């Protein structure tokens, strides 16, 4: 864990269609605002490979008015941090429109900025911490072993997790190539390390470290504006592009 503040990229995933459960709770309580699930990531350069979005099913989320035209879905904790980082319209102002549990968000369809899959589904992940980031995680199974293992669990037992099989049936998208692990480092590590599920937290943590270091120091972009560029160099540039496009914000904690 980093000791200083962690610099995330907060990615705005606009709601295209609410799940039936969320629709019931939300009704007309957002006052015509565009609503975004806001995911915190440390790997903005991987956003081309998003296949879905994760929430913690037992986490409480808020829908926060950020302006007259936009509302964000995230934890109260994150909304409070944003209010002091120039993200909400008035400094320190937290305007919670309603509260919603993570389970009700499952099945909502959102836009995935910069991704080759333009829209993705919100799915449940047990390991999402309410105390980190926004409580919303964008899923990139090509480069994140956690995302890859969770998605495989969901695809194996969709009924158990209360999802439609198709929502978890999206293939990993090659985004970064490394000499040692090829074009899909997370699935490759899962295979080599014989990781069975998202419950193998110790091995997943090790896989996560390898994927992070290999990608950063030895990876080359396979897609997007910085195709052919080394990840180390592409990472801040993709982040800047997303921020310029109004699809992301700097977020620290
Ligand atoms: B990362 P750190 Cl491709 N609970 O984004 C659990 N995990 C969370 C979270 C929460 N509340 N909020 C964010 N995260 C995830 C992309 C990614 C990430 C890739 C590879 C590795 C990776 C796509 N998911 O993270 O503990 C988010 O997933 C490995 C470090 O603050 C975020 O970046 O270091 C990362 O964990 C932040 O973890």
40 Cβ closer than 6 Å to some ligand 1 atom:
yes
What is the number of the ligand 1 atom nearest to the C-alpha of 143?
3
| pTM for the whole structure | 0.97
132 Cβ closer than 6 Å to some ligand 1 atom:
yes
Residue with tokens 């295979």, as numbered in its chain:
191
Probe target for ligand 1 pocket from 59, 132, 136, with the most ligand atoms within 8 Å of CB: 132
Which H or E run includes 214? helix 201-218
CA distance 230 to 216: 8
Q: Whose CA is nearest to atom 28 of ligand 1?
A: 41
| pLDDT tens digits, 158-210 | 999 999 999 999 999 999 999 999 999 999 999 999 999 999 999 999 999 99
The overall average pLDDT reported for the chain is 96
Q: What ipTM does the predicted assembly reach?
A: 0.98
214 Cβ closer than 6 Å to some ligand 1 atom:
no
Phi, psi of 182 (to 5 degrees): 75, -155
Residue 23 has pLDDT above 90, yes or no: yes
Residue 1 has pLDDT above 60, yes or no: no
């Amino acid at each position: 864990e980093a000791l200083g503040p962690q610099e995330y990229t907060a990615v705005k995933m606009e709601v295209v269609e609410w799940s039936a459960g969320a629709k019931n709770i939300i009704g007309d309580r957002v006052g015509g605002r565009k609503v975004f699930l806001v995911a915190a990531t440390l790997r903005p350069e991987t956003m081309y490979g998003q296949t879905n979005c994760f929430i913690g099913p037992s986490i409480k989320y808020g829908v926060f008015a950020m302006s007259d035209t936009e509302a964000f879905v995230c934890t109260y904790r994150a909304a409070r941090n944003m209010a002091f980082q120039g993200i909400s319209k008035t400094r320190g102002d937290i305007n919670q429109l309603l509260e919603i549990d993570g389970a009700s968000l499952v099945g909502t369809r959102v836009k995935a900025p910069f991704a080759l899959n333009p829209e993705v589904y919100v799915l449940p992940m047990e390991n999402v911490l309410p105390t980190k980031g926004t409580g919303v995680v964008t899923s990139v199974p090509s480069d994140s072993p956690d995302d890859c293992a969770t998605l495989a669990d969901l695809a194996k037992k969709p009924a158990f997790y209360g999802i439609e099989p198709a929502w978890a049936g999206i293939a990993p998208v090659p985004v970064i190539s490394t000499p040692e692990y090829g074009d899909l480092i997370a699935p490759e590590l899962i295979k080599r390390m014989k990781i069975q599920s998202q419950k193998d937290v110790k091995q997943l943590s090790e896989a996560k470290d390898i994927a992070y270091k290999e990608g950063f120091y030895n990876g080359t972009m396979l897609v997007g504006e910085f195709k052919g560029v080394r990840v180390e160099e592409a990472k801040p540039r993709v982040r800047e592009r997303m921020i310029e496009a109004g699809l992301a914000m700097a977020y620290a904690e």
